[in-house]
Amino acid sequence: MSFLDNTMLISIFAMTLATATPLILSAIGELMTQRAGIWNLGVEGTMLTAAFTAYAVVLATGSLGLATLAAVAAGCLVGALTAALTAGLKLDQFVIGLTINLLASGLTLYLFRASGTNLDTSGLNSFAPVAIPGLSKIPFIGAVLFDQPLLTYVAFALIPAAWLFLYRTRVGLDLRVLGENPRVLETRGVAVMPRLWAATIAGSAMTGLGGAFLMLDLSDRFTPDMSAGRGWLVVVALVAGNWSLFGTLAAILCFALLDAIASFGQVLSLPVPYEFLLAMPYLASIVILTVFRSRSGQPAQLGIPYTGK
Amino acid sequence: MRIVKRTKLAPVWSVALYAAAAVASLGAAAALIAIAGAPVGDSLSALASGAVGSPAAAIDSLVKAAPFILTGFATCIAYRAGFWTVGQEGQVLAGGAAAWQASLWTSGLPPALSIALCILAGMIGGGALAGLAAWLKIRFAMSEIVSTVMLNYVVFYALSWLISGPWMASGDTASYQQTSVLPQDLWLPDIFGIADLHMGVILVAVALVWLYLVLSRAALGYEIRAMGLNATALSQRGVSLSKLIFKIMLISGAVSAVAGFIETFGVNHRLTGDNLSGLGYEGIIVALIGRLTPVGTLLAGLFFGALHNGALFMNVMTGVPTALVETLQGIVLILFLVVGVAGHFRVEWSKQP
């Protein structure tokens, strides 16, 4: 059997891209939020809320489009709450992030149990892969890269778009200045507060989109705390990537690969306990942080409440 | 109209604001119960009577509250020092697991000695895990938030492997995720023979007094508070910050671990993952609502312990999911934080200049 026919390898790499999708979407959003100086640690809770919303809507309507929209709206809502408490009331950003995670965990579990439909998930719709004509026929690469759900293409297409936005547009420059020295914007007559809100809500909307993918593609049912640390991995990826777009993405692809290997762990019959494979992304995150220790890209105002007008 | 910062808040206002937050929380509880389609009045009264409706219910509430009062104390110590650990969750698991392992090693010893060694082993387990986060902070400047959250997941999977593999109860299948039952002479005895009121509750009282004295009287308490306020100033006075971080984290981890120990030896009488998970996060919430003071944490812990216990009864009576309490904790904390800020502002009505 030649390397290119290795179906297991194809499955693992294709799975890596799928597992990476919610993380990439969320990380692009969180990068915007953190570059604006808001240290949003509620990513985990935001993603979970969005995933639950997607579950509830797809169960009620059967429409994947509506469910995705609703998940993004839920993300916006949690983002608005985060913005109100951090930018608006200037509460401690660590405490708020933690609180949002715990509230989301409790509320989604409560609503899930209260809905009483937890067993009837047989008919849940999920995203279908969209094979790109021609390209998907390329041996190996085609099956890995070009036979993915639509949102996976969107996530990867957003990477260069996010780079162009952050580093080649005026608004992107302003966003970065917001996290470094908001007084500069103030003296230019730019209203700082609305931009802080916008950065937080937009970031959470992206995490919401990630939550929709998590629910509608990576799982076939809602389970309590199904975000399972993915939101935290996004936060870690930003730190490990030193708040650069491509560094963050490299960390995410590493986590996603380990996650994909774990999901095929029982088929691969590796000589380690299955739980060890499941713990790999989290162990790897600690190892990565001991190696990539530069914090030079950390926004100067990260986590510090803006006290101007 | 403009908003002016207050310098000092009248106690009346403070009480009124917190009362308003309490009423809003009750309203949220009623709304959530209504969403679940259960009768609001009946559910709330079942919640109350399940919590404190009888002496037995009150004792169960106290026992329920004990572990997360402990993790709350662990939170107070670390957060007062400005050390934002989220590792209480993993330390509870590590403490329970280490104590369980010690129970195997010390079998044959007199029960009292064996139990004492199990507590010690649990504290070492929890302390070691917390110490790892402290080391990562000191050696690699790794944020304790990130390292402790990641370690929580690692410990969770490690425990899940242990109790569905090497430590699995004989005759069980892996899906049970539990060890066999502890020998009965290692179960924590009941205080005064009162059913279910195990000796672990006394450890909570000891921890309360100890924490109160340390934070208010001892040199360590001074250093903890000083580090939270101004770490740089403290280090310039010649205090080694890395040693202090280590000390604080070891203590915090050991206190969390005791929660895992008393749940395992006093309530479940075996090591299970399900019954230990969530205790660490509960402690963080309870400590934050209690404003990081020992007494505040105790009161918030007792209150939510009662709600957790009452929710079990409410679930039986009217079918409202017990996760109502976790949801309420989040809502109460947000409201308290908002009230804390709102209390420092007042609205001033004035004519346009």
Query: Residue B347 pLDDT > 70, yes or no?
Result: no
Distance CA A253, CA B321 (A): 38
Chain segment A230-249, per-residue pLDDT in tens: 999 999 999 999 999 999 99
- Give me B51's structure tokens: 């919590």
Distance CA A284, CA A263 (A): 16
Tell me if B157 and A105 make a contact (CB, 8 A cut-off).
Answer: no
| Sequence ranges of the domains in chain B | 1-36+321-353, 57-318
Tell me if A113 and B321 make a contact (CB, 8 A cut-off).
Answer: yes
Chain segment A284-305, per-residue pLDDT in tens: 999 999 998 888 889 999 999 8
Q: How far is CA A119 from CA A51, A211, B287, in A?
A: 17, 21, 36
Q: Which of B37, B153, B323 is nearest residue A229 as measured by Cβ atoms?
A: B153
Residues of B in contact with A273 (CB under 8 A): 161, 165
pLDDT at A120: 57
Distance from CA of B142 to the nearest CA of A (A): 7
Coil/strand/helix, residue B296: helix
Distance from CA of B2 to the nearest CA of A (A): 13
Q: How confident is the model at residue B236 (pLDDT cuts 50, 70, 90)?
A: confident
Residues of B in contact with A239 (CB under 8 A): 143, 146
| Cβ contact B273:B97 at 8 Å | no
Distance CA A30, CA B299 (A): 37
Coil/strand/helix, residue B237: coil
Q: How confident is the model at residue A266 (pLDDT cuts 50, 70, 90)?
A: confident
Residues of A in contact with B36 (CB under 8 A): 110, 114
A113 reaches B (C-beta below 8 A): yes
> Strand runs (DSSP E) across B30-143, as ranges?
none
Distance from CA of B156 to the nearest CA of A (A): 9
DSSP H or E stretch at residue B330: helix B324-342
Residue B231: partners with Cβ closer than 8 Å, 6 or more residues away: B82, B241
Tell me if A278 and B326 make a contact (CB, 8 A cut-off).
Answer: no
pLDDT at A5: 54
Residues of B in contact with A274 (CB under 8 A): 161
Query: Residue B350 pLDDT > 60, yes or no?
Result: no
Q: How far is CA B35 from CA A184, B92, B324, in A?
A: 48, 34, 11
Residue A157: partners with Cβ closer than 8 Å, 6 or more residues away: none
Q: Which of B153, B165, B323 is nearest residue A109 as measured by Cβ atoms?
A: B323
Chain segment B84-142, per-residue pLDDT in tens: 999 999 999 999 999 999 999 998 899 999 999 999 999 999 999 999 999 999 999 99
In the block, tokens 């409560």 appear at A110
Query: Residue A50 pLDDT > 50, yes or no?
Result: yes
Distance from CA of A253 to the nearest CA of B (A): 17
DSSP H or E stretch at residue B313: helix B294-318
DSSP H or E stretch at residue B345: strand B345-348
A287 reaches B (C-beta below 8 A): no
pLDDT at B204: 95
Q: How confident is the model at residue B348 (pLDDT cuts 50, 70, 90)?
A: low
**B171: left (phi > 0), else alpha (psi -120 to 50), else beta?**
left
Going by C-alpha positions, the residue among A165, A175, A191 that lies closest to residue A38 is A175
| Cβ contact A195:A175 at 8 Å | yes
Distance CA A211, CA A230 (A): 10
pLDDT at A286: 95
Residues of B in contact with A307 (CB under 8 A): none
A-proximal residues of B, 11-50, CB under 8 Å: 32, 35-37
Q: Which of A102, A279, A289 is nearest residue B146 as measured by Cβ atoms?
A: A289
Amino acid at B255: V
| Cβ contact B196:B263 at 8 Å | no
Q: Which of B136, B288, B334 is nearest residue A286 as measured by Cβ atoms?
A: B136
Tell me if A286 and B165 make a contact (CB, 8 A cut-off).
Answer: no
Tell me if A103 and B147 make a contact (CB, 8 A cut-off).
Answer: no
Q: Which of B36, B150, B320 is nearest residue A282 as measured by Cβ atoms?
A: B150
B345 reaches A (C-beta below 8 A): no
DSSP H or E stretch at residue B3: strand B2-5
B82 reaches A (C-beta below 8 A): no
Distance CA B257, CA A279 (A): 21
Q: How confident is the model at residue B11 (pLDDT cuts 50, 70, 90)?
A: confident
Q: How far is CA A64 from CA A155, A237, B116, in A?
A: 17, 29, 57
Distance CA A126, CA A119 (A): 17
A225 reaches B (C-beta below 8 A): no
Regarding predicted confidence, which is higher, B195 or B141? Answer: B141
Percent of chain B with pLDDT over 70: 92
Closest-CA residue in chain A for B331? Answer: A103
**For the domain B57-318, what is the CATH code?**
1.10.3470
Regarding predicted confidence, which is higher, A54 or B228? Answer: A54
Query: Residue B150 pLDDT > 80, yes or no?
Result: yes
Distance CA A218, CA A263 (A): 11
Distance CA A190, CA A211 (A): 33
Q: How far is CA B326 from CA A74, B109, B308, B330, in A?
A: 20, 41, 9, 7
- Give me A101's structure tokens: 């995670």
Distance CA B334, CA B337 (A): 5
Distance CA B32, CA A114 (A): 10
pLDDT at B7: 59
Chain segment A175-188, per-residue pLDDT in tens: 999 999 999 998 99
Distance CA A82, CA B233 (A): 32
Q: Please calculate the CA angle A161-A165-A171 and round it to the nearest 5 degrees.
A: 155
Query: Residue A194 pLDDT > 80, yes or no?
Result: yes
Distance CA B100, CA B169 (A): 13
Chain segment B51-88, per-residue pLDDT in tens: 999 999 999 999 999 999 999 999 999 999 999 999 99
Query: Residue A104 pLDDT > 60, yes or no?
Result: yes
- Give me B79's structure tokens: 């957060």
Query: Residue A216 pLDDT > 80, yes or no?
Result: yes
- Which residues are bridge partners to B1 per DSSP? none
Tell me if A99 and B323 make a contact (CB, 8 A cut-off).
Answer: no
Q: What is the CA radius of gyration of chain B?
A: 22
Query: Residue B312 pLDDT > 90, yes or no?
Result: yes
pTM, 2 dp: 0.93
**For the domain A3-116+136-291, what is the CATH code?**
1.10.3470
Tell me if A239 and B151 make a contact (CB, 8 A cut-off).
Answer: no
Q: Which of A113, A278, A293 is nearest residue B323 as measured by Cβ atoms?
A: A113
For the stretch B34-38, contacts whose Cβ atoms lie closer than 8 Å and that sit 24 or more positions apart, written own/partner, are: B35/A111, B35/A114, B36/A110, B36/A114, B36/B319, B36/B320, B36/B321, B36/B324, B37/A114, B38/B318, B38/B319, B38/B320
Percent of chain A with pLDDT over 90: 72
Coil/strand/helix, residue B187: coil
Tell me if B341 and A99 make a contact (CB, 8 A cut-off).
Answer: no
pLDDT at B178: 83
Q: Which of B32, B153, B161 is nearest residue A276 as measured by Cβ atoms?
A: B161
pLDDT at A122: 59
Distance CA B311, CA A31 (A): 40
Amino acid at B102: A
Query: Residue A85 pLDDT > 70, yes or no?
Result: yes
Tell me if B285 and A99 make a contact (CB, 8 A cut-off).
Answer: yes
- Give me A153's structure tokens: 């293409």
Q: How far is CA A226 from CA A174, B83, B183, in A?
A: 36, 28, 36
DSSP labels for chain A?
A: --GGG-HHHHHHHHHHHHHHHHHHHHHHHHHHHHHTT-----HHHHHHHHHHHHHHHHHHH--HHHHHHHHHHHHHHHHHHHHIIIIIT---HHHHHHHHHHHHHHHHHHHHHHH--TT--TT---PPEEEPTTGGGSTTHHHHHSEEEHHHHHHHHHHHHHHHHHHHSHHHHHHHHHHH-HHHHHHTT--HHHHHHHHHHHHHHHHHHHHHHIIIII-SS--TTTTTTHHHHHHHHHHHTTT-HHHHHHHHHHHHHHHHHHHTHHHHT-SS-HHHHHHHHHHHHHHHHHH----TTS-TTTTPPP---
- Give me A46's structure tokens: 């935001």
- Chain centroid to Cα B74, Å, comes to 8
Query: Looking at residue B348, what DSSP letter applies?
Result: E
